[in-house]
Every structure is written in structure tokens, then in C-alpha cells.
Amino acid sequence: MKSEKQIILTVTVLFTTVFLGSLCLLIASPQVAILCSLLLPCTVLSYLFPRWGLLTFLIYLPLGGTITYGVAGVFQAFGRGIRFTGSYSLFHLAKDAFYLPALIGILIHYKVWKKNSLKLRSLMIVIALFVFTCLLTFFFVNIPADATNAKDKITLMGLVGLKVWLGYIPLILCAYYCLNNQKNLLLFNRFLLLLILIACSLCLIQYLFLVHGICPGSTDLPEPSNTSASLRAQCFVGGSLLFNPGKNLIRLPGTFVAPWQWAWFLIASSFISYGVSFSEPSRLWKGLGFVTIIAVLVATLISGQRTALLLVPIIYLVLLLITQKRDKNLLVKLVILFIVSIIISTQIGLVDERIANFIQRWQYSPPQEFIVKQIRWITSNYITLLGNGLGKTASAAHRLGSITLVETFPAQIIYEIGILGYLVFLSLVTTLTILTFKAYRSLKTPALRGLGLCLWAFILFISYNPYYYPLAVDPVAVYYWFIAGMLFKLPVLERNCSPQ
């Protein structure tokens, strides 16, 4: 009977796939037809095999920019600007074809609503309060504004905002129920390590293509495209980039849509790669972890991302200090690290160039002054109880109406959902930080404890980060909630399973 159902399901999926693909081929582009033909079976498979669907979603996350711009080519140069094809939005939403069915599959397969294994009542209360405040803004700000504004689609912008702020919180449950033993945890950690290594390697190839002239870069583009990241300079992988060596300007997107997303991927990868390498029992994989750490540092150096250039080395150094404080050879390791850093900085001109550029940009526009300026601007002009509307600062909603560019996280969330929403959100991340800290502190196994400490350091750093908005966009918005679920599951794995 079970095999008959599988045959019926397979035939139905195949028939529907062919029908939709043919229909899209007639009314849309070949790219859309191919995407629809692939997404439908992927959606069904993600629901039937949610763990694999979740893994596919995590694979697509860093490669989505490459698939959208490098493979599908959803844009065309038009005069001095860019014209997007009709498949642009569809490709950006493709990752949700893996995530949402996998989420539904996990909730149903593991019967989450009937289980009490995730006993985090305080966290569930603040999540419910945050959902409630977001809905208040949606119903009492977005919808009324839509009725009086014929130009912008503010209700649809509100739906985008709801997805931005709430869409990935269920990843806590996904991580908690999918990582059901230490073997799965080990395999998943190795999977993340390989994913980071592949992404950094592709970024290195992108850089070599630009340096050797295989890709033209930004030099010959008209103003202002030759001094800012642009899709017109897209090269090999990823989206918008800037490469103008004549003006000492470089901003690589790696495999992502934009350079700043790549920077935050590198920052998140520094926590993950070090934590996985520290907890890895295999010498081979521990060595591969060390290679991945080197790859992240090299990608940080060549990408020209000032935020990553400042934070990634500091993160690795801090993690080294806090995870090996009882190591008798710690002082020797620090001395070796210092000597190697001096040699690299004096012998490789690229390092000196990047550091000089970083100092110059810091002096020209100090980040602390920028943060203070944004906070003063928001408090002087836009302090309201429920905010100015969900999605009003989301770049994903720019095709639905005019948005306001707010580049610091507290100011952004206050602008969208008001002071009430910000206070509830602050309560949410504080509760999450405290509970994940308790989960980490309960660990006794050295490997799991080291991994837990690195992951908790990531949660702490992102929860109170005041610069830019990593929790509102990929990839940090995904990693943050997923890693929180991992931390909650580590004590359970330690109690129920012997180390692998």
C-alpha cells in the first residue's frame, strides 16, 4: 500500500512538473520554466525528507547569489543602469521552496506540538510577544497606510517585513529536532565546514579572475558604477562587486548577492569554523578545519570588506583565548601567531594595503560616529510606539514602493516596529542569550563544551551588534536562529549519546 502511494505521488509530481514547466515556457522565459520544473519536485522532496530539505536550504543560502546572477543571469545592462528580468523575484524566493516544506515536514514528522522536550517557556513567551507586536504594526500601521497611499503596496511590504523578522525563528525547532544524535551533529558540522571552504575557494577564484583580467572589473564602467559595487562588474560568482585597482577600491561579493552580505558570512564562518575544528575528533577533519580557517582569513583579506577585516582576526584570537585558557602551550601558540602575523604583514604588500585602506576609511567615517548619528536621527524624527510600518527598510521590498535606508540595527528596528517592538525584540535576544549560555554551561564533554562556547559567542555577538543589520538578512538571520537550536540540543545529545 505504501509503495502504491509513492508511485501515485511520483506520477502526480512528474505530471504537474511537466505541465507547469511547459506553461512557464509559453508565458515566461526559459529560465523561469527550468526553475519551476526543478522547484516543484524539490519542494515535495523537502517535505517528505525534511532533514535533506533543510540541508539543501543551507547549501542554497551561500550559493543563491551565484545561481541568481552568475548562472541564471536575471539582469541586463541598460544604459548606465540595470534592468531585471521577470524571473528576478522568483530566483530570490527559490530558497524558501526548500525551507518552508522542510519546516512543515519537521513539525508534522516529529509531532512538535505534542512534545515537551524543548522546555523553554520564557523563550516561547517573548517570541509570542514579538510576534504580537509585529502583527500590531502590520494591522494598525501597514494596512491603514495602504488605504491612503495609492503609489506603494504597503500591505505587501508588511508581509515582506513579517518574513524578515519572524520567518527564520522556527529554525530553532528545525535544528533541535533534526540533530537527534551526536553522529548527525558530527556530519552536519563537517557539512558546514565543507560549505564554508567551497564558498571561500570560489571567492579566491573570483579574485584571481579579476586580477588577471579574465573579468574586466569596474575600471571601464561609467560613473558612479566604477566607484561602487555594481552588477555590471559581476564576475564568475556572486552579484554586485567593485574592483577598481587604479583607485584602490575593491569590494568582492564572494558567492553572495552583495559585498556586505559576504562580509557577514565570513564573520559568521569564523565562529563556526573554529568551533567545529575545536570539537572535531578526527585528525583529518581537524586538519581540514584548520585549512578552512586559513581560507576564511584569506577570503577576508582579498575581499576588501573593512568590517570583516577588523572582526574576523579578532574573533579567531578571542576564541583561541577562551577555549584554550588552560593549555600550557597557549603562550607559545600566541607568540607563533604574533610572529607569523608580523611576517605576513611585512612581506605581503596586499596586507599592508588593506590595513592602510581600512585605517583611512575609519578616519574618514568612524563607525561609532555613524552609529550615534543614526540613533540621533531616529530618536529625533521617527520615535513612535508601533513604528512606521513593517518592510519599510527592507531591501527585498524596494520593488513594492519607496523604502528608507537605515544602516544600523537598533535604528532600523525602531523605524519599522517602533519603540515597543524594539524593547520586545531586545527582551527576546536577551532571553535567548541567557538560555543558550545556560545550555553551554551545562555541558561537561570538552569537545561539546568548546563547540558550545564558540556558538554561544556568536549568539552573544549578533544579539547586541549595533552596526548594520545582520539579523534582518541572510545569511546571519538563518545561522543565528539555527545555531540557537543547536545549542539547546547539545545538552540533550550529551546526556543521551556517547561521544562519537
Cell (9 digits) for 99: 525551507
Mean pLDDT of 100-104: 91
pLDDT digits (tens, 9 = 90+) for 175-190: 999 888 888 999 999 9
In this prediction, residue 185 carries a pLDDT of 92
More confident residue, 175 or 7: 175
Cell numbers 530558497 correspond to what residue?
95
In this prediction, residue 372 carries a pLDDT of 79
**Residue 382 scores a pLDDT above 60:** yes
In this prediction, residue 462 carries a pLDDT of 94
**Residue 193 scores a pLDDT above 90:** yes
Give the chain's largest Cα–Cα span.
71
**Residue 172 scores a pLDDT above 90:** yes
Collect all residues with Cβ–Cβ distance below 8 Å to 139 and sequence separation of at least 6: none
CA dist 233 and 229 (Å) reads 8
In this prediction, residue 162 carries a pLDDT of 92
Mean pLDDT of 319-335: 67
Residue 499 pLDDT grade (very low, low, confident, very high; cuts 50, 70, 90): very low
pLDDT digits (tens, 9 = 90+) for 389-434: 898 888 777 777 788 888 788 888 989 999 999 999 999 999 999 9
CA dist 334 and 318 (Å) reads 11
What's the number of CA atoms in the CB half-sphere (13 Å) around residue 149? Answer: 17
**Residue 347 scores a pLDDT above 70:** no
> Which of 138-152, 300-314, 325-339 reaches the highest mean pLDDT?
300-314
Cell numbers 503609489 correspond to what residue?
151
In this prediction, residue 326 carries a pLDDT of 57
Collect all residues with Cβ–Cβ distance below 8 Å to 391 and sequence separation of at least 6: 142, 154, 156, 157, 158, 159, 160, 161, 162, 164, 397, 400, 403, 416
Q: What percentage of the chain carries pLDDT values higher than 90?
A: 32
**Residue 18 scores a pLDDT above 70:** no
Residue 137 pLDDT grade (very low, low, confident, very high; cuts 50, 70, 90): very high
pLDDT digits (tens, 9 = 90+) for 215-267: 888 887 877 667 788 888 888 898 889 898 888 788 899 999 889 899 999 99
Mean pLDDT of 1-25: 57
Mean pLDDT of 325-345: 57
pLDDT digits (tens, 9 = 90+) for 42-96: 788 888 888 888 998 998 899 888 887 876 666 666 666 676 666 666 777 778 8
**Residue 458 scores a pLDDT above 90:** yes
**Residue 203 scores a pLDDT above 90:** yes
Mean pLDDT of 439-468: 92
**Residue 138 scores a pLDDT above 70:** yes
> Which neighbouring-strand residues pair with 75?
84
**Residue 206 scores a pLDDT above 90:** yes
Whole-structure pTM value: 0.89
pLDDT digits (tens, 9 = 90+) for 277-322: 988 999 899 989 989 998 998 899 888 888 888 899 889 988 988 8
Domains of the chain, by residue range, sit at 15-115, 116-380+384-496
Q: What percentage of the chain carries pLDDT values higher than 70?
A: 78
> Which neighbouring-strand residues pair with 237?
235
- Summary mean pLDDT of the chain: 82
- Residue 369's alpha-carbon distances to 85, 204, 375, 376, 467, in angstroms, are 39, 33, 10, 10, 11
CB–CB of 429/465 below 8 Å? no
In this prediction, residue 356 carries a pLDDT of 61
Amino acid at 107: L
In this prediction, residue 1 carries a pLDDT of 42
